Structure formats: structure tokens, C-alpha cells
Amino acid sequence: VQLQASGGGLAQAGGSLNLSCQARGSRFGINNMAWHRQAPGSQRELVAGISSGGDTNYTDSVKGRFTISRDNTGNTINLQMSTLKPEDTAVYYCNAEFRRFPRDPAGYAAWGQGTLVTVSS
């Protein structure tokens, strides 16, 4: 199983960036997918998540600014980030729960490589 993240880079405060993450190697589908981030000196935190059914959740600090979406195949998620703030600067990681067998309620958690987002003030 593999997760390939893309996007990120440098943006000015108030600007926008988009992250994408594609999952490969799924035999039985994927349950939840999510974006996490880790700023220097901080613990990794959940930013936004989306279930296989399309239910979403966000950490409070990004609500109204970030939007997570998932394509029809269920294997790719995007994170549209707008009204960026310097405190959004972090390495962003995508995460997915690959089903180990049909209707696996838990799945095997896999992580993509991080992609750096830097927001300048």
C-alpha cells in the first residue's frame, strides 16, 4: 500500500494552497482518510478527515478555511486551504485506513510522506 502526497509549498498569509493525496494498492477499499500536520516543536495533529461515506471533520483552527474532499474512486483526497495563516506552517501528512478484508471496520493505517506548507506573514 502506498500514499503519494503532492502540493504544498510557499504561500503568503491570506493565500491558498491545495494538497492532494492518492492511495495505491487498495484491494478492498479504504475507510477513513485524513490530513494531519506537524509544526516544528509540536505534536502531530489531525487537520481534517473524511470517511468513506463523505462525512468530514475538521480541527477548530481550520474550520471555514480548509475543505477536504474525496474523489469518486475513494482513493484520492484533496485539501483546499484558503485564508492561510502563518500558524498553518507545518509538514502535512496524509493518512488512510486500508481495509485488510471486505468490510473491515478498522483497516490498516498507512501514512504518506510529508509535504511542507510554509505561510509567510
- Tens digit of each residue's pLDDT (9 = 90 or more) over 97-112: 999 999 999 899 999 9
- Tens digit of each residue's pLDDT (9 = 90 or more) over 73-88: 999 999 999 999 999 9
Burial class (CB in 10 A: 0-12, 13-18, 19+), 9: exposed
What is the arithmetic mean of pLDDT over 46-75?
96
